[in-house]
Amino acid sequence: MSDSRVFHPIGVWFEGRPDWAGSPAEPAAAAVYYDRCFADLAAHGVNAAVVTNTPVPLRTTILAAADRQGLRIVLDLPEFHPAIRGDGPIDEAAVRAEARKTVQTLGVHDSLLAYQIYDEPENRMVRNWLAVRDIFAELDPVRPPFSCFCRAESLGLVTARTDLPQAVFDIYPLRPDTLENDLTEFDSTLAAFRDAARCNPMWVVLQSFAKKDFWRYPTFEELLAMADRSLTAGAEGLFFFLYQSLPNHPEQLEGLLDNEGRETPLYRGVGEAASELQRRLNGA
């Protein structure tokens, strides 16, 4: 089992509910689906996935598939969301008991890289986020809790109080009216997050998705430019949001695969980014 604190991901955000991607959710069929997807990701240079919305009965199924395919998984744990977003302090005994059960159940899988305890926490949640984070860090020190931040201010509130094994943040700057190759917003947001990360290793989540009337796909050149600028800024890992298109998801997001599971032209950019990250890590 490798330590997430010394891991350099080229990863994707992955929808854990097979039915939202148009596939059966029964456990045996889900295992086949996860195996197929993870083998495809590995073949494209991807070594990690952040998995959201996985039904509890399928958690061990998805981790077992990742074990077989050699992928590392950050698994979202929504049962801890109420404690983090609550107005008062957490019930430490209750959170610890639930966290211990989670670690004992899921921690047997070598593919498990980290526990995502909340996605995009707000400023007001930082106190409780830190409390839940500390409990998990004590119970499973080699798999530090994980969250992706969408506001530099929130990340800065955390890094002002503690060091992080990785400062993870997303930047989705391309809306329908954004001019092609205009990465002004990306650059300013990246600079703000880099300052907020302080000296903690940065993992950057890049826009590789579309949503009608809200976000547009990047061009191939824009995707590579965002990856290059992130690495130049010092990022030690990259993620791409999103792998699957989700015709049955409430937001009907479009990802690196289309609704029929075919590769979009952007998918090749993930492999190129993987090669470039490895080249830079090797000092080439």
pLDDT tens digits, one per residue of 141-171: 999 899 999 999 999 999 999 999 999 999 9
* Closest by CA position to 165, among listed 1, 5, 53: 5
What is the DSSP secondary structure assignment for residue 262, as one 8-state letter? P
Distance in angstroms (rounded) separating the CA atoms of residues 31 and 76: 18
**Which pLDDT score is estimated for 195?**
99
pLDDT tens, residue by residue, 102-129:
999 999 999 999 999 999 999 999 999 9
What pLDDT does 6 receive? 77
Give residue 26's domain range. 4-281
Supply the CATH number for residue 263's domain.
Answer: 3.20.20.80
Count CB atoms within 10 A of the CB of residue 2. 10
How does pLDDT run across 42-95, given as a tens digit for each residue?
999 999 999 999 999 999 999 999 999 999 999 999 999 999 999 999 999 999
| pTM for the model | 0.96
Rounded Cα gap, residues 203 and 208, in angstroms? 15
- The C-alpha atoms of residue 120 and residue 118 are separated, in whole angstroms, by 7
* Confidence check: pLDDT of 2 > 80: no
Closest CA to 11 of 228, 261, 208, 210: 208
Q: How many domains does the chain have?
A: 1
Give strand pairing partners of 48.
11, 72
Distances (CA, A) of 64 to 31, 142, 192: 8, 19, 38
Q: What's the whole-number mean pLDDT along residues 220-245? A: 97
